[in-house]
């Protein structure tokens, strides 16, 4: 299997180093042959080529069996709303070009980290959520306009039936294989795009009579996720709502540094931590590499069907956490100071 | 002062009964004269007139000095995405017609309720946030379209400079009067409407050099609000993001049943709990009336400048909570069963 590594920006390179190292070790132990290539995207690519997604990167991506990505973004652009070229354009474009319409974000809870969250352990215990976030539609990709006098700006929030159908099928199938509960999140009391979303999900639900389907408004979902996260199992939602809800849900797992994601669709799968580029700690050996390593576990399971190898990884992480090892983001007042590790040691 | 009461749907009538009763009592004790009228909106208005916002309601609203509103919505419409007439249209229309562009949602924490939240008390303690949610623009009011074959649907997310300016000024002024910190939330790394939002806020910030202004992406804000709510003071955001963030933030206060909101702008102020119609408990004397009563406190302070009277109300609530009284939504395992009250008793 040929893997393209795209380290990206900020802490991206540090954390993907360890994702890749784990893949190599899995290859060695299990007799699998993984070959690697590397490519630029985001701020790193803008600096080198002026383009956040160089053609070469896209070609390499299409030719690979899976992609391991780090993180994207730079504070320089965040504070310059009028910048024409932005790192994020690279990520959005590769999602679109590779047809990565389904972003899977599992919210896994390591028992050892129950206390690292700001939520009470009794609220968290037993939580296990799998988000299906639509990734190539919505207000992210609808037409963007700025009036000539620059005094009005708009983005079109738009969905097409087929876009909702294809991700809904994936989510229903996952629900079928899990606890048979699906919650679709929208804002159908206000938005026409959400009303189409709800109509389509209601229709498809008839094909999955064994799955209990619920519809919830996004404002209520954002609230329930804090109040009682256990009530969710498979959550299906649009691009923008998924962006917000999954970041919020990261606090269930104690830290964004623990959450991996898989983007799949028409072709090559794309695996990345859900955390950002975190420039404030970049290059300081402080970032938590576990989200990148867990992204590799998702790659093994989803792209290569290597379930046992994926489990080896989560077991190893579990063991490290049980032994008391923590990176700064998941340490708490009770953590043995000597066991607070940097990126390299944790990797 | 002449107050229009719009009880609305579900638990709306039960809770506004107590908001109104408290106003009458305040009037009696302080020698203020409050007169009342009542009008229909939402599902209740559709049932009676076919129109979620009858002209008569709008006329009465414009002629009043303040409006006390209950709740809106009905499950019947939620599960019928193709319904043409919907209760929520009444609320959206009155917001637009009265020019209620600024929705203030204070997240107040009663010490006694620290344990009612799913968040750890040490995370919560000291939290005091004032949200400014823009209320008459965004994807809520942009053009809605459905293709002829009904297979595509869209909503235009649009902002105009003046819309951002007028609410930003209000938020900056509030920040100036509080702890001089303002956090503006957007998604400027993806959305053009957010980039205009950020540009305008950056410009206005120069007029408030004494206020420390920060910009945050909505996904990050949804996360930080759970992780460390204390870091926020005044939060300024768009209509849709504000809808999501404030519902999420309700968990800081222990329950949606404790949160009031004030919508202000060009004319008459509009005061309402942030909770919904909760049809599942309607008519059962179970709803928490404190959000409606706190809405009255906001009315006294904001529309009538009666600060002391407003404080009388929050003091009285504090006293009831200190004495151990709770409605079901804010009770916990430690609550004396005999002190769990219904709507009437708590009112
Ligand atoms: C970086 C940004 C464009 C991106 C998004 O909003 O999709 C990120 O927040 C994510 O969730 O992957
Ligand atoms: C009922 C609905 C239209 C409304 C909104 O989304 O604005 C509600 O959720 C609110 O926050 O007041």
Query: Could you write out the DSSP letters of every residue in A239-301?
Result: HHHHHHHHHHHGGGGS-GGG-EEEEESSSSEEEEESS---GGGTTTT-S-THHHHHHHHHHHH
Question: Is B150 inside a domain boundary?
Answer: yes
Residue B108 located in a structural domain: no
How close is the Cα of B243 to the center of ligand 2, in Å?
7
A20, A130: one domain: no
Out of A81, A157, A189, the one facing B88 most closely (by C-beta) is A189
Q: Say how many residues make up chain B.
A: 347
Element (H, E) at B159: strand B152-160
* Average pLDDT, integer, range B290-308: 97
Which of the residue ranges A63-72, A231-240, B46-55, B323-332 would you say has the lowest mean pLDDT?
A: B323-332
Q: What is the CATH number of the domain that holds A48?
A: 3.40.718.10
pLDDT beyond 90 at A334: no
**How many Å from the N-terminal Cα to the C-terminal Cα in chain B?**
22
Residue A141 has pLDDT above 90, yes or no: yes
B275 domain residue, yes or no: yes
Are B81 and B198 contained in the same domain? no
A270 and A236 in one domain? Answer: no
Lowest mean pLDDT among A51-60, A313-322, B248-257: B248-257
- Mean pLDDT along residues B284-295: 97
Q: Which residues of B touch A118 (CB under 8 A)?
A: 119-120, 123, 226-228
B174 with B232, same domain? Answer: yes
What tokens does B227 get? 């992780």
State yes or no: pLDDT of B255 exceeds 90. Answer: no
Q: Is A91 near ligand 1, meaning CB less than 6 Å away?
A: yes
- Does one domain contain both A169 and A231? yes
User: Ligand 1 mean position to B196 CA, how many Å?
Assistant: 19
The model's confidence at residue B146, banded by pLDDT at 50, 70 and 90, is very high
For residues B69 and B38, what is the distance between their CA atoms, to the nearest angstrom?
10
The residue with greater pLDDT, B108 or B59, is: B59
Residues B106-133 have a mean pLDDT of: 93
Q: Is the pLDDT score of A79 beyond 90?
A: no
Q: Which domain holds residue B234?
A: 118-253
Whether A113 is covered by a domain: the verdict is no
pLDDT of residue A253: 86
Alpha-carbon distance values, A304 to A6, A216, A268, A269, A298 (Å) = 19, 34, 11, 10, 9
Beta-sheet strands, E only, within chain A: 2-8, 35-38, 66-71, 102-107, 129-134, 144-146, 152-160, 181-186, 212-217, 234-237, 260-264, 269-273, 326-327, 340-341
DSSP A334: T
Marked catalytic residue, from A187, A233, A325, A329: A187
- Is residue B109 assigned to a domain? no
Distance CA A181, CA A197 (A): 18
**Does residue A302 belong to any structural domain of this protein?**
yes
pLDDT exceeds cutoff 90 at A256: no
Which residues, in sequence order, are CB contacts of A260 under 8 Å at separation 6+? A105, A106, A271, A272, A273, A274, A291, A292, A294, A295, A297, A298
User: CB–CB of A228/A300 below 8 Å?
Assistant: no
Q: Round to the nearest angstrom and report the end-to-end CA distance of chain A.
A: 22
With CB atoms and an 8 Å threshold, state whether B189 touches A77. Answer: yes
Q: Are residues A204 and A240 in the same domain?
A: yes
Q: Among B256, B239, B258, B252, which Cα is nearest to B132's?
A: B239
Residue A206 is among the residues annotated as catalytic for this protein? no
Q: Are residues A333 and A303 in the same domain?
A: yes
Residue with CA at minimum distance from ligand 1 atom 11:
A243
pLDDT of residue A82: 86
Whether residue B130 sits in one domain with residue B27? no
Read off the pLDDT of each residue in B314-343 and give the average, rounded to a whole number: 94
The CB of B248 under 6 Å from ligand 2? The reply is no
A265 pLDDT band, cuts 50/70/90, is: very high
The conformation of residue B42, written as its DSSP 8-state character, comes to: T
pLDDT at B334: 85
| CA A295 to ligand 2 center in whole angstroms | 37
Q: Which ligand is nearest to the CA of A242?
A: 1
What is the average pLDDT score of chain B? 96
Residues for chain A: how many in total? 347
Domain termination site, one of B253, B270, B293: B253
Q: What is the pLDDT of residue B108?
A: 86
pLDDT confidence of A115, banded at 50, 70, 90?
Answer: confident
| Ligand 2 pocket check for B73: Cβ under 6 Å | yes
Sign of dihedral through CA atoms B25, B277, A132, B197? Answer: negative
Residues A308-336 have a mean pLDDT of: 94
Last residue of a domain, one of B235, B253, B271: B253
Same domain membership, residue A242 and residue A123:
yes
Residue A108 is assigned to a structural domain of this protein: no
* B247 included as an active-site residue: yes
- Answer yes or no: do B24 and B135 share one domain: no
Q: Are residue B94 and residue B138 in the same domain, yes or no?
A: no
For the whole model, what pTM was predicted?
A: 0.96
Nearest CB to B81: which of A156, A199, A246? A199
d(CA A65, CA A303): 8
Report, as an integer, the average pLDDT of B222-242: 97
Strand partners, B215: B184
Say how many domains are in chain B: 2
A285-297 pLDDT, tens digit per residue, is: 999 999 999 999 9
The domain boundary residue, chosen from B226, B253, B280: B253
pLDDT band at B206 (very low <50, low <70, confident <90, very high): very high
Q: Are B233 and B274 found together in one domain? A: no
Q: Is residue A111 part of a domain?
A: no
By the 8 A CB rule, do B18 and B25 touch? no
Instruction: Assign A49 a pLDDT band (cuts: 50, 70, 90).
Output: very high
């Amino acid at each position: 299997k040929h893997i393209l590594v795209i380290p990206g920006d900020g802490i991206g390179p540090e954390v993907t180093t360890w994702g890749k190292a784990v893949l190599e070790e899995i290859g060695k132990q299990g007799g699998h042959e993984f070959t690697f290539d590397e490519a630029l995207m985001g701020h790193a690519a803008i600096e080198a080529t002026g383009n956040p997604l160089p053609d070469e990167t896209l070609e390499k991506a299409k030719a690979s069996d899976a992609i391991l990505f780090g993180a994207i973004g730079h504070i320089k652009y965040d504070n310059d709303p009028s910048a024409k070229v932005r790192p994020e354009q690279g990520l959005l474009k590769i999602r679109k070009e590779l047809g990565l319409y389904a972003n899977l974000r599992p919210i896994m809870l390591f028992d050892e980290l129950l206390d690292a969250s700001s939520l009470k352990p009794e609220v968290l215990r037993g939580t296990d959520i799998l988000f299906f976030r639509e990734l190539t539609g919505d207000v992210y990709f609808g037409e963007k306009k700025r009036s000539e006098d620059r005094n009005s700006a708009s983005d079109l929030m738009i969905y097409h039936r087929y876009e909702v159908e294809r991700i809904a099928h994936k989510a229903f199938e996952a629900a079928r294989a899990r606890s048979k509960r699906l919650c679709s999140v929208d804002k159908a009391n206000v938005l026409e795009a959400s009303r189409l979303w709800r109509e389509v999900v209601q229709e498809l639900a008839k094909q999955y009579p064994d799955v209990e389907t619920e519809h919830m408004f996004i404002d209520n979902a954002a609230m329930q996720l804090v109040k009682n996260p256990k009530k969710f199992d498979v959550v299906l939602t649009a691009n923008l709502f998924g962006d917000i809800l999954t970041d919020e849900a990261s606090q269930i797992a104690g830290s964004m540094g623990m959450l991996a994601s898989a983007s799949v669709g028409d072709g090559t799968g794309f695996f990345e931590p859900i955390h950002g580029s975190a420039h404030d700690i970049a290059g300081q050996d402080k970032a938590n590499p576990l989200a990148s390593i867990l992204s590799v576990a998702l790659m093994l399971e989803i792209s290569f069907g290597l379930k046992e190898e994926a489990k080896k990884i989560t077991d190893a992480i579990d063991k490290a956490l049980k032994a008391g090892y923590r990176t700064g983001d998941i340490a708490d007042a009770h953590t043995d100071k000597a066991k607070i590790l940097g990126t390299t040691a944790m990797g």
